[in-house]
């Protein structure tokens, strides 16, 4: 492991990039995921179809392909962005499909009467969703959302393919110099495991806190 300690500053740099990718992509995916969920349960047929198409499209395409396409394709149509920003946007769009799917199963688990009561009180569809349905849906999908965040954390390493130097990319570079793949990647693996168990811990706590008496 001492090989890692020798390169601590770059490992740290890589970790910071990985955390940036994770946090920013999750926030983007959360906002987009809620929007797509709203579309999928909307009373308007066209919006429902668009929402479904979104989820189908992005769940059925590999993230790596999307990243590479965006990295090389966007400049072609005149959009230039930092690789890090491109990666965050693409990962957000991709993971939003998974978040939307989890949220929709949560929405389905909320009794039909809750929405009816909200509408009967004069709340609009948006208000019913925001104040009544989503808060309850969220409580039932804390654990699946945690799993999505963990998967997202692991997926961030694909950003290395479009020249973002994250934790894994730093590890590869160190290995080019040191040629000690086992200790380097065991160490880096442990760092990812630590992030994942942190996420698992927080969602576990959240789930217990938010449990509803029914």
Q: Write out the residues near another protein by the rule CB under 8 A.
A: 43, 111, 113-114, 116-124, 127, 131-132, 135-136, 139, 212-214
Q: Which is nearer to another protein, 29 or 145 (CB)?
A: 145
At closest approach, how far in Å is the CB of 105 from another protein? 17
At closest approach, how far in Å is the CB of 201 from another protein? 23
Q: Which two tokens stand for residue 156?
A: 């961030």
Q: Which is nearer to another protein, 138 or 152 (CB)?
A: 138
Residue by residue, DSSP assigns 64-131 as: HHHHHHHHHHHHHTT----HHHHHHHHHHHHHHHHHHHHHHHHHHHS-HHHHHHHHHTT--HHHIIII
Calpha distance 214→201 (Å, rounded): 25
Q: Which is nearer to another protein, 44 or 177 (CB)?
A: 44
* Residue labelled with tokens 């999908």: 141
At closest approach, how far in Å is the CB of 131 from another protein? 6
Sorted by sequence, the CB contacts under 8 Å of residue 77 that are 6+ apart come out as none
At closest approach, how far in Å is the CB of 159 from another protein? 37
Q: Which is nearer to another protein, 82 or 116 (CB)?
A: 116
At closest approach, how far in Å is the CB of 34 from another protein? 17
* Residue labelled with tokens 């066209």: 46
Helix (H, G, I), strand (E, B) or coil at 141: coil
Q: Which is nearer to another protein, 133 or 162 (CB)?
A: 133
């Amino acid at each position: 492991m001492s090989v890692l300690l020798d390169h601590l500053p770059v490992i740290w740099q890589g970790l910071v990039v990985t955390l940036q990718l994770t946090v920013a992509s999750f926030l983007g995916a959360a906002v987009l995921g809620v929007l797509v969920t709203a579309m999928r349960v909307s009373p308007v047929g066209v919006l429902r179809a668009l929402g479904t198409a979104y989820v189908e499209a992005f769940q059925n395409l590999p993230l790596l392909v999307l990243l590479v396409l965006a990295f090389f394709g966007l400049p072609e149509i005149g959009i230039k962005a930092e690789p890090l920003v491109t990666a965050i946007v693409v990962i957000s769009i991709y993971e939003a499909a998974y978040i939307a799917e989890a949220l929709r199963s949560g929405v389905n688990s909320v009794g039909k009467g809750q929405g009816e009561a909200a509408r009967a009180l004069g709340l609009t569809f948006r208000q019913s969703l925001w104040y009544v349905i989503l808060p309850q849906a969220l409580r039932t999908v804390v654990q699946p959302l945690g799993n999505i965040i963990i998967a997202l954390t692991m997926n961030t390493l694909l950003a290395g393919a479009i020249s973002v130097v994250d934790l894994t990319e730093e590890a590869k570079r160190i290995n080019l110099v040191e040629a000690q793949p086992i200790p380097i990647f065991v160490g880096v693996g442990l760092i990812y495991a630590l992030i994942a168990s942190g996420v698992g811990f927080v969602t576990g706590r959240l789930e217990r806190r938010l449990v509803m008496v029914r």
